[in-house]
Each structure stands twice: as structure tokens, then as C-alpha cells.
Amino acid sequence: MAKNIKLKEKDTCYLLENETIYLRNVKVSDVNDRYYQWMNDCNVNQYLETRFVVQSKEKITEFVKSKDGDTNEIFLAICDKEHQLHIGNIKLGPINWYHRRAEISLLIGDKDYWGKGIATQAIQLISDFAIRQLNLNKLTAGAYKPNKASIKAFERCGFKIEGEVEDYVLINNAGIALIKVGITAKQFNLKNCTESKF
């Protein structure tokens, strides 16, 4: 469970943190050689729809600019606290304010941080923010079925598998299922309340 979660908000400027990582707005200055390499690395982007288009720094910059100040799609950098290093991104949105629901998507771009629980921590932080600060009632996410690490990261945060959409995408001309996961505010709060007793 993420601890010491803090939120600072001023002109849609966010900071969410725990002991290991922090999440803050993605900035145009983040679009450097490292970010560019992530988006064009076939191991990093193998489960991203962006893999079909070669990503230039200009395209990445345009995307980052399009999310700046967008309160319906909150786009945050995942940063390692100790080294003050941008290692990936997480997005909350689009947000449906009428039904109080949103989707979460993320990318750990720096492969040195794979397998270290960073995705789980980032999901926990943004879920806590979405439910406790934004008063959202339902969070969802989707992952290609072979992307077991992503599915597990969501499950560790209390998300449940809610369905499987067969042949959702084609990879090497073979149909691959999409696994849909979700959690309600009630389930999230109950999980965290239970964990805090141990």
C-alpha cells in the first residue's frame, strides 16, 4: 500500500508521492533522447497502440502539449525519488465526470525499473488520488492478455478482472484478447482499510 500520499494542486499542477516515487505533470522538457528511445523501443512499446507509428520528438512534444492543463486527461511523469529520474508515464482519463469514472494507462519506459513494483506503486498513487481527491467512483484499465506484468500490477492494487474481449487486437496476424480490469471506490477503500490493519 502506498503511504504518505500528498497532493499539491495549483493551476492543474500535480504532485503525488510515496517513499520511492513521485508523480508530476509531464513537461515538454521531459521529451529528450531517453523518452524518444522508449517510444521507439519494440520491447517497451510492444503493448502500446503507438507502436504502429515511428515516434519523433516533435510528435511526442505535440502529445505532451495537448495534455497540458487538460483536467479530463491527467498525464503524469513517474519519477524515481532517489535519483530524480523520469522513468515512465501514467495517465488518468478520459474522465467521465457525470458517471465519475476514468481509465488508467501507464508505461514504465526505463527498463532498469522493470520488475521492481514501480507500476504497482504508480497505480496505487493515482487510484488513491482519483478516488479520494477527485471523488471518482470507478476506475478501469485494459491490457493485452500476454501483458501479464501489467495485469498483475493492477491486481496488486485491488483491481479485479472484469472481462476478456476475444481477438481485440492483431499481433502477427493472430487475434489477441484484451483483459479488462476495474475497481470501485468502495472496493478500493475496503482494500486499503484492511491492509492498514496489518
Q: pLDDT for 74-94, tens place per residue? A: 999 999 999 999 999 999 999
Confidence band of 44 (pLDDT split at 50, 70, 90): confident
Confidence band of 53 (pLDDT split at 50, 70, 90): confident
Confidence band of 115 (pLDDT split at 50, 70, 90): very high
Percent of the chain residues topping a pLDDT of 90: 70
Average pLDDT over residues 65-74: 90
Q: Which CATH number fits domain 8-195: 3.90.1570.10, 3.40.630.30, 3.30.1490.20, 3.40.50.1100?
A: 3.40.630.30
Confidence band of 198 (pLDDT split at 50, 70, 90): very low
Q: Is the pLDDT of residue 178 over 60?
A: yes
> Considering the chain, what is the average pLDDT of its residues?
88
For the purposes of burial, counting CB atoms within 10 Å of the CB of 104, is it exposed (0-12), middle (13-18) or buried (19 or more)? Answer: buried
Facing residues of 8 across strands?
15
Q: Is the pLDDT of residue 197 over 70?
A: no
Q: Is the pLDDT of residue 10 over 60?
A: no
The structural domains of the chain, with segments of one domain joined by +, span 8-195
Note whether 51 and 42 are within 8 A (CB).
Answer: yes
Is pLDDT larger for residue 179 or for residue 56?
A: 179
**CA–CA gap between residue 24 and residue 77 (Å, rounded):** 5
Nearest Cα to Cα of residue 139 among 124, 121, 118: 124
Average pLDDT over residues 137-153: 95
Residue carrying C-alpha cell 500476454:
146
